[in-house]
A and B are shown apart, each in its own frame.
Chain A
Amino acid sequence: MQVPAPFEYARASTVDEAVALLERLGDTARLIAGGHSLLPMMKLRLASFDHLIDINDLHGELGYITVTPDEVRIGALARHRELLESDELAAVHPIFRDAERVIADPVVRNRGTLGGSLCQADPSEDLSAVCTALGASCVIRGSGGSRVVPMADFHRGPYETAVGEGEILTEVRVPVHARAGSAYAKVERRAGDWAVVSAGAFVRLAADGTIADARVGLAAVGPNTTGIPGIPAALRGRAPAEDVYAEAGAIAAEGCDPATDQRGSADYKRHLAAELTRRTLRVAVSRAGG
């Protein structure tokens, strides 16, 4: 059995209490949400912390998924399973359900959280690609109050985020648009494995059926989940068509920076970046009513 090094354990029952504990304990402490990223690292003794601050009691406060006509607000403690099962969320952003169906396994999904996923900032993490595609923003709270950071600025490098010392991610906000669609696709070596490559796409159509806005987020093809800035620029104003998706795919392949590893060669991953970009754009457009 793998066992972690010794640590102290504290349990926060409100966001304020979690922030106060973080301030007091400084960088010797870590928040623990679902624990499905943190605990494996601790058990393998790749990471050790003097204190863990358990925030699972905040699920009442931060476990919500609220869908309004122009925005979805998701609390950081919403679990994978809740994101998977929310019909309301699937109705406006089907990309969440697409992704959650291929993230890990039921055991992990029962515990793992949206906040933990984004804050882990693993380069292969799927929900970051989802949030990137949707142009989400993150609400971060510290003792001085809350600030909002767009997804594009949230990740600072592998396993590094904009969440500072003494801060906690509380909410993710996703805009809702009419005539919009989204989709997610992942290639994995086996069910429950991390992505070889995955892609999420979001498309908003104009009244005339042309693409008003399109974004693609890719996982596992660089140091962080990547938005491909060239794609919105290239697709805006174009009529949805196979050659347009192919063009976006080519931009994705060129714009990403994958590495060869056990999951696949860099060449293959570039190929997948193109292929999955095409596929998800195609589905997103059809879901947008295009």
Chain B
Amino acid sequence: MTTVDNDLKPVGYGRMLRKEDPRFVRGRGRYTDDVQLPGMLHLAILRSPFAHARIVHMDTTAAAALPRVKAVVTGADLAGLGLAWMPTLSGDVQAVLATDKVRFQGQEVAFVVAEDRYAARDALELIDVEYDVLDPVIDARRALDPAAPVIRDDLAGKTDNHCFDWETGDAAATAAVFERADVVVSQDLVYPRVHPAPMETCGAVADFDAVEGRLKLWSTTQAPHAHRTLYAMVAGIPEHKIQVISPDIGGGFGNKVPIYPGYVCAIVGSIVTGKPVKWMEDRSENLVSTGFARDYIMRGEIAATRDGKILAIRTHVLADHGAFNGTAAPVKYPAGFFGVFTGSYDIEAAYCSMTAVYTNKAPGGVAYACSFRITEAVYLVERIVDCLAYELDMDPALLRLRNLLKPDQFPYMSKTGWEYDSGNYEPTMRLALSLAGYDDLRREQAERRSRGEIMGIGIAFFTEAVGAGPRKNMDILGLGMADGCELRVHPTGKAVVRLSVQSQGQGHETTFAQIVAEEIGIPPADIDVVHGDTDQTPFGLGTYGSRSTPVSGAAAALVARKVRDKAKLIAASMLEVSVADLEWQKGSFSVKGDPGAAVTIQDIAMRAHGAGDLPDGLEGGLEAQICYNPSNLTYPHGAYICVVDIDPGTAVVKVRRFVAVDDCGTRINPMIIEGQVHGGLTDGVGMALMEMIAFDEDGNCLGASLMDYLLPTALEVPDWETGFTVTPSPHHPIGAKGVGESATVGSPPAIVNAVVDALRPYGVRHADMPLTPSRVWDAMRGHAQPPI
């Protein structure tokens, strides 16, 4: 490994160590579970052991009588308060505590508040629930069978398990292109249900002050402001009396976007007992009940000429949304941004139809660093392109190069209506091929094959659409996806920037200080970044979907420019010249042609707050605020190449090399970008090779612990080889694009393509994730099976 200097101490962009890391590496992070309040009680939730059952009777007397127990609350109690059901982020409703039926294993049924977490757990075992077990709907393919039991009989008039239909693109035009194409390849693909499994599980501490009518809520949320508004709307507590604090967060990946019943229970618990109440779910609860990801059963079809010009892509998707539609996505996008399934290719037509169904599984649907379903979209297109290469017997790199969009096509309007802001794909692809030594790898593969060894090379090229989003078409439950930002420069020239987004590990306290530093020349170390507290920060929709840099990053740059504009007026008066005579060098204004006549931003800050006159009409102070509404999404892209070896005797897959070339536009802190990419690639190895939330036919979750739901370790991943190209976003103030999820989106197809490429001598064209040894062995014997 080559070593790089990661601490260049830039005043602006460049490599620097993360400002937040000293507190994390020294154990001084402060997470929700670290919050201790005087008199605080502990809450535990009783969960359904069944996937589908009617609640016949519930007896809580024994639990309530246990010493140290302060309250036992059931769905019936919540119904009395009008809180048994709550809205989901997708306009559906979800039970806070089940009143009528349980609809997935692990669903919340009752809760206990006690003096300590032991007593709370002990009391759960004393709650007696009589269930009438019903047939569950587990296989999404059977959900619409006329005989299937109806899961959502809570919805008036509901007689089936249909959730929604959705389509995009032009069905007729696409059909016409397919008609006349030389080659049509079709492939069924499953992107199995996976779970973000953040290291820190979800939890909350609720402290309701009955006298003031004020709620203070520490919670593991990626979107504190949005949560506050929703609590105000649901619980009827006025918004100005709610403070949501999202302290340090141990990983989110989308898992901490929704409002979970547990948060509401903690609030109710505090109201009922008059004490602060802490709820922290355990590992199993997190895995079985909180936001899952994927669960798309897809048919991909691709039409092309015989010499490899891709003409059209068509897909039908069956989406398993679990028991409640809890997908977190902009309202007008029930399938998230799956519409970008046409990928990075210049095609004539595209069409997608989707049917979403309810099943007796946990709700959720957009999570795990997926950029609102772009993971599924990229997997579909990159897998189907490889299937086409297989059928045409064409090198998959060449096939991609032949079809990539050309630089002069940008901004590019895709066949499904997405305006790609910018892109220059071929150099990215070529850089990846050269870093990988692609031709040598193919030669090596041929040699190894002749010796009976199994080696594969997989390629994925992706385009993402991140930075939701323009308020004209993107909102969540009516809240527009614009982001506020405030910047205040103190008299001594130090500053505080207040963000509406919330870091879960992405390094915001560093990146955002660097963005501001680049604009106003105050060193990042002198800029405090405040986030995650609704009382301390302006409104905005939070961090997910790689939106922080595209949206809040733009806000931070623009608010800094506003401050700089004001500083310029003050500088002009300090230097007794006109504004037009000033020149900005990072950190100071000087008089054009007289560099000796200069004032630093620190001098200006002191003047802004100090004695002496300011220019006419100018207020004191040096601060500004902004609300940034992006004009479009940003479209990062990347080319990934994976090399695998497969043990012919055991079918164990080893990822030998992985080359990731990312283009996220302007690079603020390359070290942080690489860290995000490394993490996402590791996620990709997990999804491609081992992760899956599986269910048995009764609906028991088979991934309820980290012994069963496998996450990759350092031993499963190679030394990542990263590279980059830079195609700035034309509409973003600093040209930056999101990158947090790129690697999670791009790596699974690269790895699967590599495994399938390795198995080519066995006649394998496709095998579904997770590619565990057993499943690879099945594929080698011609029995590749979908995982569900």
A190 pairs with B690, CB closer than 8 A = yes
Q: Which residues of B contact A279 (CB under 8 A)?
A: 649
Q: Which residues of A contact B773 (CB under 8 A)?
A: 187, 189, 196, 264, 268
Interchain nearest-CB distance for B780 vs A (Å): 10
Bound-state Cα–Cα, A275 to B122, Å:
47
Given contacts A262-B702, A263-B774, contact A187 B282 (CB under 8 A): no
B774 pairs with A264, CB closer than 8 A = yes
Given contacts A2-B282, A2-B284, A196-B773, contact A268 B778 (CB under 8 A): yes
Q: Which residues of A contact B155 (CB under 8 A)?
A: none
A 256-269 to B, binary, CB cutoff 8 A, 1 in contact else 0: 00000011110011
Bound-state Cα–Cα, A6 to B120, Å:
12
Q: Which residues of A contact B3 (CB under 8 A)?
A: none
| In the assembled complex, A45 has its CB within 8 A of some CB on chain B | yes
Interchain nearest-CB distance for A191 vs B (Å): 4
A 166-198 to B, binary, CB cutoff 8 A, 1 in contact else 0: 000000000000000000000101111110100
Bound-state Cα–Cα, A221 to B139, Å:
29
Which B residue sits closest to A268, measured CB to CB? B774
Q: Which residues of A contact B280 (CB under 8 A)?
A: 1
Q: Which residues of B contact A5 (CB under 8 A)?
A: 121-122, 125
Which A residue sits closest to B122, measured CB to CB? A5
Bound-state Cα–Cα, A192 to B282, Å:
21
| In the assembled complex, A59 has its CB within 8 A of some CB on chain B | no
Q: Which residues of A contact B716 (CB under 8 A)?
A: 190-191
Q: Which residues of A contact B778 (CB under 8 A)?
A: 265, 268
Which A residue sits closest to B704, measured CB to CB? A44
A275 pairs with B712, CB closer than 8 A = no
Q: Which residues of B contact A275 (CB under 8 A)?
A: 649-650
Q: Which residues of A contact B715 (CB under 8 A)?
A: 190-191
Q: Which residues of B contact A192 (CB under 8 A)?
A: 713
Which A residue sits closest to B775, measured CB to CB? A264
| In the assembled complex, B395 has its CB within 8 A of some CB on chain A | no
| In the assembled complex, B710 has its CB within 8 A of some CB on chain A | yes
Bound-state Cα–Cα, A190 to B694, Å:
17
Q: Which single member of A1, A45, A262, A271 contacts B777 (CB below 8 Å)? A: A271
Which A residue sits closest to B285, measured CB to CB? A2
Q: Which residues of B contact A263 (CB under 8 A)?
A: 772, 774
| In the assembled complex, B652 has its CB within 8 A of some CB on chain A | yes
Interchain nearest-CB distance for A161 vs B (Å): 22
| In the assembled complex, A207 has its CB within 8 A of some CB on chain B | no
Q: Which single member of A3, A44, A193 contacts B710 (CB below 8 Å)? A: A193
Bound-state Cα–Cα, A262 to B774, Å:
9
Q: Which residues of B contact A265 (CB under 8 A)?
A: 774, 778
| In the assembled complex, A272 has its CB within 8 A of some CB on chain B | yes
- Residue among A3, A40, A45, A264 with most chain B CB within 10 A: A3
B774 pairs with A3, CB closer than 8 A = no
Which residues between 1 and 54 of chain A lie within 8 Å of chain B, taking CB atoms? 1-3, 5-6, 40, 44-45
Interchain nearest-CB distance for A187 vs B (Å): 5
Bound-state Cα–Cα, A122 to B33, Å:
34
B121 pairs with A3, CB closer than 8 A = yes
A44 pairs with B705, CB closer than 8 A = yes
Q: Which residues of B contact A262 (CB under 8 A)?
A: 694, 702, 708
B777 pairs with A268, CB closer than 8 A = yes
A190 pairs with B712, CB closer than 8 A = yes
Q: Which residues of A contact B708 (CB under 8 A)?
A: 262
Interchain nearest-CB distance for B469 vs A (Å): 37
| In the assembled complex, B118 has its CB within 8 A of some CB on chain A | yes
Which B residue sits closest to A274, measured CB to CB? B649
Given contacts A1-B117, A271-B777, contact A189 B282 (CB under 8 A): no
Given contacts A1-B282, A45-B125, A189-B690, contact A6 B118 (CB under 8 A): yes
Q: Which residues of B contact A44 (CB under 8 A)?
A: 284, 705
Interchain nearest-CB distance for B697 vs A (Å): 13
Which A residue sits closest to B685, measured CB to CB? A190
- Residue among A40, A262, A265 with most chain B CB within 10 A: A262
B 114-140 to A, binary, CB cutoff 8 A, 1 in contact else 0: 000110011001000000000000000
A190 pairs with B713, CB closer than 8 A = yes
Which B residue sits closest to A278, measured CB to CB? B649
Which residues between 289 and 313 of chain B lie within 8 Å of chain A, taking CB atoms? none
Bound-state Cα–Cα, A272 to B705, Å:
26
Interchain nearest-CB distance for A201 vs B (Å): 15
Q: Which single member of A3, A187, A268 contacts B117 (CB below 8 Å)? A: A3
Which residues between 600 and 653 of chain B lie within 8 Å of chain A, taking CB atoms? 649-652
Bound-state Cα–Cα, A194 to B454, Å:
25
A272 pairs with B690, CB closer than 8 A = no
| In the assembled complex, B580 has its CB within 8 A of some CB on chain A | no
Bound-state Cα–Cα, A196 to B694, Å:
17
Q: Which single member of A3, A6, A193, A272 contacts B650 (CB below 8 Å)? A: A272
Q: Which residues of A contact B713 (CB under 8 A)?
A: 190-192
Which B residue sits closest to A261, measured CB to CB? B702
Q: Which residues of A contact B586 (CB under 8 A)?
A: none
| In the assembled complex, B211 has its CB within 8 A of some CB on chain A | no
Q: Which residues of A contact B1 (CB under 8 A)?
A: none
| In the assembled complex, B25 has its CB within 8 A of some CB on chain A | no
B650 pairs with A187, CB closer than 8 A = yes
Which B residue sits closest to A275, measured CB to CB? B649
Which A residue sits closest to B712, measured CB to CB? A190
| In the assembled complex, B707 has its CB within 8 A of some CB on chain A | yes
Bound-state Cα–Cα, A38 to B280, Å:
23
| In the assembled complex, B494 has its CB within 8 A of some CB on chain A | no
A194 pairs with B707, CB closer than 8 A = yes
Q: Which residues of B contact A190 (CB under 8 A)?
A: 689-690, 710-713, 715-716
Q: Which residues of A contact B710 (CB under 8 A)?
A: 189-190, 193
Q: Which single member of A6, A40, A187, A194 contacts B122 (CB below 8 Å)? A: A6
Bound-state Cα–Cα, A191 to B685, Å:
13
| In the assembled complex, B656 has its CB within 8 A of some CB on chain A | no
Interchain nearest-CB distance for A154 vs B (Å): 25
- Residue among A40, A190, A193, A271 with most chain B CB within 10 A: A190
Which residues between 678 and 732 of chain B lie within 8 Å of chain A, taking CB atoms? 689-690, 694, 702, 705, 707-708, 710-713, 715-716
Which A residue sits closest to B124, measured CB to CB? A45
Q: Which single member of B283, B702, B705, B774 contacts A196 (CB below 8 Å)? A: B774
Which residues between 707 and 764 of chain B lie within 8 Å of chain A, taking CB atoms? 707-708, 710-713, 715-716
B 26-39 to A, binary, CB cutoff 8 A, 1 in contact else 0: 00000001000000
- Residue among B705, B710, B774 with most chain A CB within 10 A: B774
Q: Which residues of B contact A189 (CB under 8 A)?
A: 689-690, 710, 772-773
A-B pairs with beta carbons under 8 Å apart, 23 shown:
A1-B280, A5-B121, A5-B125, A45-B125, A187-B773, A189-B773, A190-B689, A190-B711, A190-B716, A191-B716, A192-B713, A193-B707, A262-B702, A262-B708, A264-B774, A268-B651, A268-B773, A268-B774, A269-B774, A271-B777, A275-B649, A275-B650, A279-B649
Task: Name the 10 nearest CB pairs between A and B, nearest first.
Answer: A264-B774, A191-B715, A268-B774, A2-B282, A275-B649, A190-B710, A268-B777, A187-B650, A3-B118, A191-B713
Contacts A187-B650, A189-B689, A268-B773 known; 10 new A-B pairs at CB < 8 A: A1-B33, A40-B707, A187-B652, A189-B773, A190-B689, A264-B774, A264-B777, A268-B778, A276-B650, A279-B649
